[in-house]
Amino acid sequence: MAKRIYAQSVEDVLADQKTDLEGLTTQEVTERTEKYGLNQLSEGKSKSMIQKFFDQFKDFMIIVLIVAALIAASSGEVVDAIIIMLVVVLNAVFGVFQESKAEEAINALKEMSTPNANVKRNGQIEIVKSEHLVPGDIVLLEAGDVIPADLRLTQIASLKIEESALTGESVPVDKSLLLLEDEDAGIGDRHNMAFMNSNVTYGRGEGIVVGTGMDTEVGRIAGMLNSADEMKTPLQENLNQLGKTLTILILIIAVIVFFVGLQNGDNSVIDMLLIAISLAVAAIPEGLPAIVTIILALGTQKMAKRNAIVRKLPAVETLGSTDIIASDKTGTLTLNQMTVEKLFINNELVDADKVETNLDNPLYQVMSFSNDTKQTSEGELIGDPTETALIQYHLDHGLNVTELLAKEPRVAEVPFDSERKLMSTIQKNTDDTFFVAVKGAPDQLLKRVTRYIENGEIKAMTDAQLDHIMANNHDMATQALRVLAFAYRQIDAIPETLDSETVENDLIFAGLVGMIDPERPEAAAAVHEAKKAGIRPLMITGDHRDTAEAIAVRLGIVEAGQHEAIISGSELDDLSDAEFENKVEQYSVYARVSPEHKVRIVKAWQKKNQVVAMTGDGVNDAPALKSADIGIGMGITGTEVSKGASDMVLADDNFATIVFAVKEGRKVFSNIQKSIQYLLSANLGEVLTLFVMTMMGWSILAPVHILWINLVTDTFPAIALGVEPAEKGLMSHKPRGRKSNFFSGGVMPSIIYQGILEGAITLFVYWLALTYPVHMGDKLIHADALTMAFATLGLIQLFHAFNVKSIHGSIFNRNIFKNVTFNWSILASFALLAATILIPGLNKMFHVSHLDIYQWGIVLAGSFSIVVIVEIVKFIQRLFGKNK
């Protein structure tokens, strides 16, 4: 860093960045954005359309086709050469379309998942996308945040930042505001700096943006390693492997066709070479990986519109096989809008709306002080839902919290952490003494209490009083209320060391507050739908066991009185991994657990061969999110760390959105199956037609016939099948299982028999045309027969596309014309196919003849017969329970 900002004072840095601690104005932000650009790392130059177009010609089979065109041209078949090259060019155009469509979808997802930052601007706290930060901005940091830019820290409160990505040091760094005397200090020693993409693990802080985008430490590294990450997804790898296997088989068949054709003596070496090449090119599904990527990308876009932002494409397919949804309660199954319902004050439990409120009472003071809620200029409360509920309660009852905080400001704190479950602040009193405000879990706070206050009188804490307090705590918990305890003490000086031992002791108990976060109205229905789909919902919460049970019963996760289905964190700790794995199927609710327990829950279910989706919003949730088959981050309450570790982010933090995403995942998987079944059965039909015609010594379809059929019938219908609406009853089946693949569920047998059927019907039409000719003369008979075989082989694939709209169910039980994209794709493919026969001049180029009504009738009847036959087969399969 050229200016060595870490060796400058905060005042010098502010002056250098031409800013102040109140932040920039809107005009200054606009000017600096124009000067410095967006706060983004360069991703390298993207390929132009021309580059993408020429990249299509690097494919081995395309090169083979070009060679075939040159051979045809050199042998005098100029028209064939032109048509082959036309197919090559059109194939390249479709390839560019497919690649661009997938890139657009993925880029749209990147845009949706841009992290946010809390920034001071125009004297107010605003939430902006991190890419819009500029040098001079003042950024606020909290535990769980990802540092959005390089910062010079100006304020800290027990701030710790994990910088392993930059320094290799896995232990979080304690930050300080001290100047560094060593101007050549390494990154790991710059304790007054915070670097882009590192993570806040503890405490809070504030800093000045001193570097954005490529002008950051991580940007410098990105500049050295700036290469596009083009790793293929597991799905693409599997499909590529499938393609390689099919290529070998088809090339063997092509060689056989070549030599047998020569042996029959009806075709020249050049003719048979072109036919063999055309057969190989047409039969190999080289476009399948691209089509699958498009289907996945379109699925992610639909999910994004319903607030499920998928960060990794393979997650779409995995979602469809989900067996377990382990969900946090707060904000996902509930509204995350806590409301104060009960108060235990002055040693009695009362309704919150039926008590006189007064800021002179220590309970209301602690509720205000031990609280990180912030209020925007519009009056919106920003912060943890529990804390905002406390402030909202004050505002609803006319208590002036702002005035109280101004009169007795915070001067120190011991931030909350999930281990001790407490938070403390130290406020300065008007008489220069200090007020310690502590809030947290009742069982933890009461361990540190020695006295309690009742109607202004401070009394010694007794066992009987503790029992009384805990009894009221239990009473609220059984009503599904979340209970917080509040205590305080007065001190003359701030301890030199700020920690739990020095601050949170000898406390005076002030009271309990019972709050409720009501379940989402749609959550119970979503839980019911998940269960119907064979998916087991689990609820995970840090709440009291009784609270967890009450909410779980309301949602239908467990039945009333089903106490054995609930386990607490302490009980879980008492179980060994082996014991827990044996009992894991018993539990549906996990109460009073820490984020660390989530990893055990995930692994225990995975040992049962179950596909697990796990939600999380905190820093400590990251390991569980990574361990789960589907890690689901929270878009509203989630930290940037949890979002970064997830496969999917819920923009609305809603459990019902997860169930929708699972449904969409099932639909995507089903549609990919349909596309694969359609493409491979069609290709198999083409291979068998040419193979049998060669073996029988019949006239063989020309290369232009095969290539044109492959071009017009493959791309459009296959992509259109990828956007088919969900089939009826999609969520009434159990998950397909971890070991299933795209050929499971009878798809492979269907591909084989349907491919054979396509070839057989085409060959039958050809034989029929030869046996019962309409025209006289061998030349005319063979020309008509080849034309009818050509038309049948093309049309039968288009009719078969309707069969594939439902792999197992009858197409007559659904609106088969509902998919408008599919309808247009079939019409377009039919028009391109028919044009080669009907348009004068064009039919000569394609070596086909005009057909009369009788011949068209045979072609259409033969092509449509596959619909009837396949529907009969599916009916028999359903009758014997083979398919559902």
Catalytic residue set: 328
- For 72, the token pair is 């045809």
Please answer whether residues 730 and 670 qualify as being in contact, where contact means their C-beta atoms are separated by less than 8 angstroms. Answer: yes
Q: Is 255 helix (H, G, I), strand (E, B) or coil?
A: helix
Q: Is 35 helix (H, G, I), strand (E, B) or coil?
A: helix
Show Cβ contacts of residue 452 under 8 Å, excluding neighbours closer than 6 positions: 347, 458, 459, 461, 465, 469, 508, 509, 510
Identify the burial level of 520 via C-beta atoms within 10 angstroms of its C-beta, where 0-12 means exposed, 13-18 middle and 19 or more buried: buried
For the chain, the maximum distance between any two Cα atoms, rounded to a whole number of angstroms, is 118
Cα separation of 609 and 736, whole Å?
12
Tally of CB atoms within 10 A around 155: 15
DSSP, res 807: S
Q: Cα angle at 468 between 465 and 469, to 5 degrees?
A: 90
Distances (CA, A) of 411 to 193, 394, 519: 22, 22, 37
Which residues on adjacent β-strands are paired with residue 614? 326, 631
Residue 227 — left, alpha, or beta (φ > 0 → left; ψ -120 to 50 → alpha)? beta
Query: Which residue blocks in 697-777 are alpha helix, DSSP H?
Result: 703-721, 747-771
Please, what sign has the CA dihedral across residues 314, 320, 321, 326? Answer: positive
Q: How is 5-25 classified by DSSP, letter by letter?
A: GGGS-HHHHHHHTT--TT-B-
Q: Is 450 helix (H, G, I), strand (E, B) or coil?
A: strand
What is the 3 state secondary structure string of 736-752?
CCCCCCCCCCCHHHHHH
Tally of CB atoms within 10 A around 265: 8
Backbone angles phi, psi at 856, to 5 degrees: -65, -35
Cα separation of 822 and 715, whole Å?
11
Distances (CA, A) of 631 to 435, 742, 764, 875: 42, 23, 53, 40
Cα separation of 425 and 438, whole Å?
7
Q: Which of 157, 121, 159 is nearest to 21 (CA)?
A: 121
- 159-189 burial: b if 16+ Cβ within 10 Å, else e: bbbbbeebbeeeebbebeeeebeeeeeeeee
Sheet-wide strand order for 308-310: 308-310, 648-650, 630-634, 612-616, 324-328, 536-540, 589-591, 566-568
Backbone angles phi, psi at 509, to 5 degrees: -70, 130
Cα separation of 362 and 510, whole Å?
6
